[in-house]
Amino acid sequence: MPEALRIVLTVLGFGVGGVLVLAAVIWLSHRNLRAAHRDGTSTSAVGDAFGIMQDLVSPANARAREDLDDAKRHVQLAPDTDAAPTRVRVDLNGGTIRLPAPRRDPAS
């Protein structure tokens, strides 16, 4: 086999092999990003990386977004002072929960 033909076939073989490996890597990484785990979460590490980059570029917006998320999750733990406590009766054997009837305001 001539030397030039051997070089051309070698380059062609490595080129085709490289394209096939690249296609497999792209397909597997796309499949990994779209797949969900059994607990419902997904593997979105690339999305998290881009989110971190956005936080580095614009820290004021990132801080504002975190503050808004914290405000959404805020729960008031103290009940109203003028509200009477609600008593709930639970029957574990019968599988029932009884709530008291709602009180009606006598003024209405």
DSSP E strands in the chain: the ranges are 89-91, 96-98
DSSP assignments along 6-22, one per residue: HHHHHHHHHHHHHHHHH
Give pTM, 2 decimals: 0.35
| pLDDT, tens digit, 9 for 90 and up, residues 36-73 | 666 656 555 556 666 677 777 778 887 888 888 888 87
Kindly indicate the confidence band of residue 87, based on its pLDDT and cuts at 50, 70 and 90. Answer: confident
